[in-house]
């Protein structure tokens, strides 16, 4: 049973380019969370999605960041016009969505470097 998959594992972008990060949840999981880990810091919640729905995006920067989780395919975190401050590790986690008893299982992360 494959775990949460994220790709790419490492992504290098120049300032002003777009970054697209992909997350495939565990089999049977229909809920996805995205977190960001800045260097030497803990993870910070960004957005929570179910299939075709954004449930909570209270942790997302207001500009340049967007997320989606289509009916088919992986969840995508998109960062437009990247800046150096976007350099971080981005983790996604998936759950079955059944509620408080869920444990979030994390992917290996995508490390974004903005030059």
Partner 1 sequence: AQKVTQAQTEISVVEKEDVTLDCVYETRDTTYYLFWYKQPPSGELVFLIRRNSFDEQNEISGRYSWNFQKSTSSFNFTITASQVVDSAVYFCALSSFPASGTYKYIFGTGTRLKVLA
12, 9, 102, 19: which is closest to 67 by C-alpha? 19
Q: Which residues in the 29-88 window bind partner 1 by CB under 8 A?
A: 33, 35, 41-45, 48, 55-56, 58-59
Question: Residues 14, 99, 113, 114: which binds partner 1 (CB under 8 A)?
Answer: 99
Q: For residue 8, is the peptide bond before it cis, meaning its omega torsion is within 30 degrees of 0?
A: yes
Q: Strand, coil or helix: what is 85?
A: helix
Degrees to nearest 5, angle at CA 77 with 24 and 19: 115
Does 26 bind partner 1 (CB under 8 A)? Our answer is: no
Distance CA 58, CA 70 (A): 20
To partner 1, the closest distance from the beta carbon of 16 in angstroms equals 26
* Nearer residue to partner 1 within complex by CB, 17 or 96: 96
| Of residues 74 and 91, the one with the C-beta less far from partner 1 | 91
Q: Which two tokens stand for residue 25?
A: 């949840």
Query: Which residues of the shown chain bind partner 1 in the complex (CB under 8 A)?
Result: 33, 35, 41-45, 48, 55-56, 58-59, 89, 91, 93, 95, 99-100, 102-109, 111
């Amino acid at each position: 049973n494959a775990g949460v998959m994220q790709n790419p594992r490492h992504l290098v972008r120049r300032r002003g380019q777009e970054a697209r990060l992909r997350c495939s949840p565990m089999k049977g999981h229909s809920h996805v969370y995205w977190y960001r880990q800045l260097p030497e810091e803990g993870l910070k919640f960004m957005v929570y999605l179910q299939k075709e729905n954004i449930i909570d995006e209270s942790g997302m920067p207001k500009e340049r960041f967007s997320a989606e989780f289509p009916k088919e395919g992986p969840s995508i975190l998109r960062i437009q016009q990247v800046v150096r401050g976007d350099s971080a590790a981005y983790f996604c986690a998936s759950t079955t969505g059944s509620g408080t008893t869920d444990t979030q299982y994390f992917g290996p992360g995508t490390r974004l470097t903005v030059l």
